Every structure is written in structure tokens, then in C-alpha cells.
Chain A
Amino acid sequence: MTTSLVVILVFILASAVVGVIGRGRGEMNLERWTVGGRRFGVLLVWLLMAGEIYTTFTFLGASGWAYSRGAPAFYILAYGTIGYIISFFLLPPVWRMAKRLGLHTQPDFFLARYASPTLASLVAVVGVVSIVPYLQLQLAGLGMIVEIASGGAVSSTFAIVLAFVLTCVFVYTSGLKGIAWVAIVKDISMVVAIVVIGIGLPSMYFGSVGGMLAELVRRHPTHLTFPGGTTTMDVGWVVSTILLTGMGFYCWPHSFAATFSARDDRTIRRNAVIMPLYQLPILLVFFVGFTALLVLPGLKQPDTALLTLVARSYPGWFAGFVGGAGAVTAMVPASMLLLVASTLVAKNIYRPLRRGEVGDAELMRASRAFMLVIAVVALVLALWSPNELVKLLIFGYDGIAQFFPGIALGVFVRRTTARPVIMGLVAGEAVVVSLIWSGHDPFLGLNAGFVGLAVNAAIALGAMAITGSPAAPEGGNEF
């Protein structure tokens, strides 16, 4: 297994070197570090956006869901497309406002649009609370990928520490531009790995993809229609989950802020046009999960299905390649999350608390310092309490999706003010937290986050109708 070990280590090191070199020349400032100087064209924006779709969840979660749950996993193929359709209309006005006012983060947007520090802080806190467990999940996934792909030659802890320290180095030095360059390495290797195993594994065991699917339908006749291998994830759950995650897609602070790096608003719209095609490799990941169900039934951890099958079916160097690609697939989203969370804390929590003037240079230093703090927290959590944050993580998507009414109303309805948005947001989060923590997800067959979003929107719109038509705040004229 030494071949796979060497391949994985070379992969991780090479990615970090690319990230450090990707910095380019010139002095580093907050504008360059967080939004790449707003000069990215279609290709780099595409790569950054892809960071959100192709995370460790693609390798582990999508194949694990296909393995254990079957058809409900199909939501993963569909929700991004809904997200891109919404972004086609929603993001260009957001980008124009960010460009005009020099915004760096998602709370910056809420502050500029609603002139409400309360709303901005609320968004910043929910954002960071959702990001940290997501970051921890990337690290835990990375450890699992490398350990299984190397046949146990690299321990999970060693892989996590090595990859994450290197990630911190290139985020610290290069910011967003460095991440975009590593994303190139990640996307090429990941797509190659997925295409090879997604077509190769079904063919290896069943002659072809069609043959594998026919065998699956014969042995598990209900696996490929809703609710598949589950009892709770029927059509209502799938439809509400696609709506929730589609609307929440660009509500993630890192996805939202990544759009600020675009050169112009047309770049964003062109991206929305082509991005759905980039969902297609997920289909191949499903095929691997299905193949694993037929070849290796009864796995205790479905998330290990893809890698266990790869390690069993391919020579060491190729398993190492898949493991390396998987490791970089964790490093890129981890670096985005780290960058965005640190800017969020520095600009939208630390600066308002300081009250006094905080210059750009100091803000840049503070962002880098908070980056190291958040990195240490995530690393400690990933190594010593991998299961403690599972509930927070489930809350992640449901929590950030509650930003959607505030963003959409802010962009399209000029007379929207801060108070209805705050009321809706607080009510939505309260519904989500209480449903999940009391074990009522799904609720009446619907995704709990979707229920929260419906309450959120109803309260925001109701409050707007009652308060009538007050004078729009200054930010309201930005569109």
C-alpha cells in the first residue's frame, strides 16, 4: 500500500504549493484577500462556485445516500439546478450593490441594504455557527477518505493535520486567488476520478451501467423510487428539500461572497447558464453507490461505500489517486469556509464591538488572526469530538436558508425594511431548531428547514403588510 501513500502525499503537497504560488505579485490587502480584487472571469468564478457542490459530501455522502437510501439521494442532483435558476435573477443585482459599495461579506450586504447593525450581526452569528461544523465535517471526511484509500497506511489524524496545516498556509498567504488555483487541481482530478470509477465499477461487476441498474431493480425493486430505502423520505420530503436547498444554495456565506469576485454581472449570469451541466458527475457517484450496494451489502457505515469498493477493485496507485483527489476536494471548500468565516468574524463581529475606528490594514491583520483561531477550533473539534456537532451540522443548511427572504425581498421589493426581515429570520430559526432538536424532522413529511422557511416568509410578508409603506431606508435605493 506504499504506492497509494506516496500518491496521496504528493497530491496534498502539490495542491498546497499551487495555492501559495497562486497568490500572484503585489501587496496583499483585504480587497484582494477576500474577493480576489473583483477581477475573476467565467472560469475562476465557475471553479469557486463548484467548491460548494463538490465537497467531501459528493464523494462520501452522495454515494452513501445512494447506497443506503436510494432514490431520495436524487435531490442532490436536482437542487443545484434550482439554485442556479434562482441565482440567474438574484445574484446580478447583489453583485452590482457589492461592487458599488465595496462589500466583502454577506452581513455587509444586509448592513448596506437594511441599515440595521442588529440584522447584520444576527446574520454574521448564524453564518459562523453554521460554518464551523461544516468545516469540521470536511476535515473528518478528509481523514476518512485518505485512511481508507491508503488501506490504513495513513492514519486519519495524520492526514487531517497535514492537509489542514497546508490549507491554512495557502489561505493565509494567498487568500481567494490561491483557493481558485487549488480549485483547478481539485476539479480536474476529481472529475477524472469520478468518471473513471462511475463508469468503470458498474462495468467491472455487471458489464455495463444499464446492466447494473437492471440488477439493482431486480434485487431491490423499491430502491429507485421515492421513498427508496427509507420510510420518511417520500415525494413531499424530496420536493420540500429540493426547494429548501435550492433557495439556500447561495445563502451560504462563502457561496454568497464568492460571487463578489466576479469581474461583472454578466459573468455571474453566464455561470448560472452553464453550471447545471457540472452536476452530471453526481450521477456517476450514484452509480458507484448502487454498485457497492450490490457488491458489498451490509456495510455498517454507508459513507465508506465508495472508497471501500475503490480500494477493493483498483490497484494501489489508482486508489491513491482517488484518495488524493478526495483530499483536495475537502481542502478547497475547507479553505473557502475558513477565509469567509474569518472575514465575517473580523469585519462583522470584531469591528462593531471595537466601536472605534478600525483601519483596513488592521482589519486584514485581524482577519488572518481569526483565521488561525477558527482553524484551531475546527481542528480540535474534528480530532477530539467528531460526533458532538452532528446536530449543529444538520442545522447548517436549514439555518442559513432562512436568509433567503431577507436577500430576495431586499433585492426585489424596494420598501422592505429591517424589522419584518428580522422577525421572519428569528421565527424561522426558532422553528428549525425546535423541530430538529425535538426529533420532528421530517415534519408532516416535509423537510423541517422548509417548514421554518415557510413560517419565516409568512411572518416577514405579514409584518410588511401590517406596517404599511414606510419611507425606504437609504440602502433601499441601491437597486
Chain B
Amino acid sequence: MTVSRSWLKFALIWVVGVLALAFIPALALVAGLPFVNRLEPVVLGLPFLLFWILAWVVATPGFLAAAYLLADPTPGRSESGAAR
């Protein structure tokens, strides 16, 4: 019983971790927008609002790749498993 309970705890931490990683960019692109609706500062020639959206779109593959590795660390395996 102790073994299965600690395994459950591990699984829970792991699912929460994967979800958190993937939802950081989603939060930035949705809930973040009311706070960045302005032109200044101009970054890389882009007004701040456009820069913010662009930066999070570019960063998302990094977050999702981390979630992918966390959810599915064994190479060469197919079907079943992974986060849900």
C-alpha cells in the first residue's frame, strides 16, 4: 500500500508539473493581454503589445518541449501513457 501511495503522490506532482509548464504561455497570451495593451517600450523595433504576443508564441515550443520530456521521458516508446 505504501508503495502505491507514494507512486500516486509522484504521479500527481508530475501531472501538475506538466500542466503548469504548458499553461504558462497560455496564461501570458490570454490573461496577460489587458496589462500589455501599450506601445512603449519598443523592443526590437516592435511596439510592446506586438512584441509580447510574438515573444510568447516563440517561447511556447520551449515550454511544450519541457512538458513533453517530463510527460514522456522514454525514447522509442509509442502508444498509450503520457499526461492526461
Report which A residues bind B (CB closer than 8 A).
Answer: 71, 74, 77-78, 81-82, 84-85, 88-89, 92-93, 96, 99, 208-210, 213-214, 217, 221, 224-226, 235, 238-239, 242-243, 263-266, 269-270, 272-274, 276-277, 279-280, 283, 286, 411-412, 479
Interface pair A226/B56, CB less than 8 Å apart: no
Please report the C-alpha to C-alpha distance between residue A244 and residue B54 in the assembled complex, in whole angstroms.
Answer: 20
Q: Give a binary string over B1-18; 1 marks a CB under 8 Å from any A CB, 0 the rest.
A: 000000000000000000
Report 18 cross-chain contacts, Cβ distance below 8 Å, ordered by A residue.
A77-B57, A81-B25, A81-B57, A99-B79, A217-B47, A225-B37, A235-B33, A235-B37, A238-B33, A242-B33, A263-B78, A269-B72, A273-B65, A276-B58, A277-B61, A279-B57, A280-B58, A412-B84
Q: Is the CB of B79 within 8 A of A239?
A: no
Within 8 A of A (CB), among B6-58: 19, 22-23, 25-26, 29-31, 33-34, 37-39, 44-47, 49-50, 53-54, 56-58
* B binding-site residues for A, Cβ under 8 Å: 19, 22-23, 25-26, 29-31, 33-34, 37-39, 44-47, 49-50, 53-54, 56-58, 60-61, 64-65, 67-68, 71-72, 77-80, 82-84
A273 in contact with B64 (CB, 8 Å): yes
Pairwise interchain contact B64-A225, C-beta atoms closer than 8 A: no
Nearest CB in chain B: distance from A107 CB, A? 23
Interface of B is mostly: helix
Nearest A residue to B49 via CB reads A225
Could you say which residues of chain A place their CB within 8 Å of the CB of B77? 266
Residue of A nearest to B23 (CB): A85
- Nearest opposing residue in chain B for A274, CB measure: B61
Check A225–B47 contact: CB distance below 8 A: yes
Contact B53 A77 (CB under 8 A): yes
Supply 18 further A-B pairs (C-beta < 8 A) apart from A74-B53, A85-B25. Answer: A77-B57, A82-B29, A82-B30, A89-B84, A96-B80, A210-B44, A213-B46, A213-B47, A224-B47, A224-B49, A225-B38, A226-B49, A276-B60, A276-B61, A277-B61, A279-B57, A280-B57, A412-B84
